[in-house]
Structures are given as structure tokens and as C-alpha cells.
Chain A
């Protein structure tokens, strides 16, 4: 017995490509997985679109990655048997930021704050982005998940 599962990958891909055209890059590496790449400025609109048109409400987590040339903020959504990995490209700048998706998906609260603490990517529009993950006495502006963070000197083995 092998159960069959509804697959809406193609429908989502088409919907996103129709709505955003060149602004999004949609890949379907394997069934039930969509990798969507957008610029930071368009990410919020994509989330809004998925929420309003397809009823997206669930975020698993948000991963922040320091990819040397830029930062990546990857939102891992789940919608009807499909995981949507929405990758927002954030340029390297003094104070990197993304639009907060808190008002659309409140469940993103802790993960946006985690990325702010550990990677220094500010969630613009978040009502209370206070520190959550790191200790109170951790110095401001010290972001351990950045690749230029001096791990060896700070005792990571």
C-alpha cells in the first residue's frame, strides 16, 4: 500500500509566475518542494499573495544565512502538502533589514527576532523586536551567525 498525496506544486508555480513575472525565480527540485527566490523588497508581496490567494497561514521557521556576497532569509512555509522555501536576498549593508511578515503570519514572531539576534537582520514593521534568543548581557551589534564573527577567539571549538 502506498498512499497518494495531492500535489499543488505546478498550480502554485504558475500562480506565482503569473503574478510576479521576472521578479520571482521558482524551482521545483522534487515533489512537494518549491524553492522561490525573490529580492528582499518583493518578499512581503509574495507572502501576501500566498496568504490571500492560497490561504497560507503556516510558517515552520525562518532561516538566516550569511552567504558572503549577501544575506539570505529563507521562510519555510507549508501549504497543502507543499513546502515553500521563500528565499529573500538581502544585500550586505550596514543595517540589513527585511519586511516583517508578522502582520500576515503571527507565528513568525519568534523567528524574526531570532534572526535579528543572531544575524542582525532587522524585521521592519515588527511591533516588538526585542531580544529573545541571546542573553541580556550580550553586546549590541555582535552577531554570532555572521561568517566574519571571530568564532575561534570567542571560544567555539
Chain B
């Protein structure tokens, strides 16, 4: 019989991203998996060369709709290293806090998607409902549900709202209880284990050989986590555990992500309780960054995010390089697709948590009955952005 090739993508109902996965099948089994990326290449690295360091920060905020804070933090750590800036301790705590809240929301989002892909829509509804706790906190702290824009060169843009910390801690307590329930569900309720065990298996050897990172590697028993290996911000002070699981399948990736949410809640709680008082940004930051180069790593929700920044002493980056974690995990995902069933392909591709943009709410509000629009003037928006008005 002739080879049967099934393309998934670049546009496909089971895939939210423009990527092509070309699967060669023998009956139900996938015997060869090829891919083609680049359908959504936006040329951001080149654009960065024509923008100032600060403008590039906001450009990189938009690399991803979910892990936007990861990209900006990773970029800004490199910029601050080149510039030799030491940011205030409080700013480090706020960055860590927002980063962990982002991880919680991203993992819960994934849990919902995974539930949906395997037809377990109750899980999808529950986990997305619980995700709102974190999004509400993020909105209060940063002003946005996604694309927070909290980072700025030399610190963060605004402080934690006063008198709100107890409310956040309460919300985190409820969320932790919910996540304990999900963890229990994964181990005790048969549906998840029955559907996900043994699916899309990635051995530890292959994970190391193909340089997998993040939850995908950790679910194959590889103890890799940038927060542990090379602590940035304040991770070297915070007690938390590295979660690994050795099943190597999608069930393992689910368990790792759920348990990681619980660890992230602990870190967020630690940040809220131990945040030192004081300034949250440097008063004066140079526009021109001295000549030099820096490479920084950051543990994004999907794995290791890396940025490389070089300055020639001017206002714009000479070269800014971005590598998102999904790119690092693609090879391992393709390798594991071999031998999987074609019906498992959607959940298999989703299991590496490919990064797709989620939509934001809009700031313009229209009253349907009266047709009246409320608009924010630029001056007020600018004031709001600086934290003057809430």
C-alpha cells in the first residue's frame, strides 16, 4: 500500500497555531512525523534593532499572549546585566510574584485544554473557572489580565496595591485547595490515567538527547529547572521543590503541571509575605546602554526561555535573540509522535503546551442599551500606567 500522509496544519481545527505537522501513517499508527514551522514568523528580532531598549521591551511583551512576563523578564535581565544595573529588592520580589502567578494561570489553562482535547470538558470548565482567581490578582497588580507590562528597565512599573495582600493570600488558599483536588483527581479518578497513561511516550534518554526542557523534560524524569539550576531574581532565597515524574507520558506531564501549580502558589505566598519595603524602581535609568552582551535564561511555564542581547553603546539593541521554550521541545515532540496513534495526535501536540495567544478584554466599554461609549483619554491612560490612579 502507498504511504498515507496526513497533514495537520498550518490551519487545522484541532490546532490553534499555524504550524504544519505532516504525519505518515500505517493504519492507525504514525510511522513518521515531519514538521514545518515559521508560518507565524513576525520578524521581531529584526524589528528590535530599530527600536530603543525600552520599546523592544514592549515589543517582546507581545511575543506570547500567555507567557509575556517570561519574555520581558528574560530580556530585561539581559539588558540590566549589560547596563550593570542593580534593581531594588522589592522589584525582584514583584517580578517573581508576577512570574509565578503567570505560571499558575498558564498551567491551569493547559489543564483545561488537555481536558478538552480528551473530551473531559468538566475539567476544562473547572480549571478555567479557578484560573480566574489568578487573573483577578494579576489584573489588580498590573492593570491587565494578560500582557501585563509590569517590567521596566530598572525595576517594575507599579507597586503592589496597599492593603490587598490579605485578599490575595485568601484567594491563593482557595486555589491551593482546588489544586490539591486536581492532584487527587489525577491519581484517584480513572479517566485521566486511562486516557493519558502511555500516550506519547518520551524516554529519559531521548529527552536528554533532544534537549527537551520544562514540564515535558521533568515528566520524563529529567531534573531540569532554571529556577534551580541558575537562580535569577530571588529564587535562591525561596524554599520550594522541583517536581519530576518518571512516566514520560502525557499523564506524567499532567501530574507535573498540577503539582507545579501547588509549588508556585507556595512561592507566590512567600513573595507576598516576605516582600521587603522600599523602592520598586530605579529613579534614573540610562537611555544608552553601554557596549556589551549578555545571555539570560528564565524558567517560563513551558520551559527554559532564553534571550541574548548585545549593545553597541547606542539606544537600540544591536542584536536581540529570542528562543521560546516551544521551539526547544518541538524535536522531542516529533520524535515521540512516532509510534503513537493518529487519534492521539491532538492531545500529543497539545501536551507540550504549544504557545498560542489568548485574547484580552478591551478597555473601551459600550453600553448596548444606550449605545454610549466610555473612552479613556491618553493623558489619563498614561497617568494610570504610571500607577497614579487606580
- Chain A residues in the interface with B (C-beta under 8 A): 1-3, 5, 30, 32-33, 57-61, 63, 65-66, 74, 76, 78, 81, 83, 85, 105-107, 109-111, 117-118, 131-135, 144-145, 149, 151, 156-157
Contact = CB atoms under 8 A, between A and B. Distances in A.
B321 A106 contact: no
B295 interface: yes
A87 B323 CA distance: 17
A32 B50 CA distance: 31
Given A61-B306, A65-B310, A106-B209, A3 B319 contact: no
B323 A61 contact: yes
Interface in B35-84: 36-39, 41, 43, 45-47, 49-50, 81
Given A2-B237, A60-B323, A133-B41, A76 B306 contact: yes
A144 B237 CA distance: 43
B319 A156 contact: no
A109 B208 CA distance: 14
Contact of A61 (B50, B319, B321): B321
B230 A83 contact: yes
B94 to A, nearest CB: 20
Contacts of A118: 45
A1 B239 contact: yes
Contacts of A83: 230, 295, 297
A60 B236 contact: no
A58 B308 contact: no
Given A144-B46, A145-B45, A106 B308 contact: no
Given A1-B237, A76-B308, A133-B37, A105 B229 contact: no
Interface residues of B, number: 36
Contacts of B118: none
Interface string B303-337: 01010101000000011010100011011000000
Contacts of A3: 231, 236
Given A60-B323, A83-B297, A134-B38, A107 B46 contact: no
A156 B36 CA distance: 25
A81 B209 contact: no
A106 B331 contact: yes
A134 B209 contact: no
Given A32-B230, A59-B211, A132 B306 contact: no
B46 A156 contact: yes
Interface in B70-106: 81
Nearest to A76: B295
Nearest to A60: B306
Given A58-B211, A106-B209, A132 B295 contact: no
Contacts of B39: 135
Contacts of B306: 60-61, 76
A85 B296 CA distance: 11
Interface centre among B36, B236, B321 (most CB of A within 10 A): B321
Contacts of A61: 306, 308, 321, 323, 327-328
8 contacts: A1-B239, A58-B211, A60-B297, A81-B230, A131-B38, A133-B38, A135-B38, A144-B46
Nearest to B323: A61
A156 B48 CA distance: 10
Interface string B226-258: 000111000011010000000000000000000
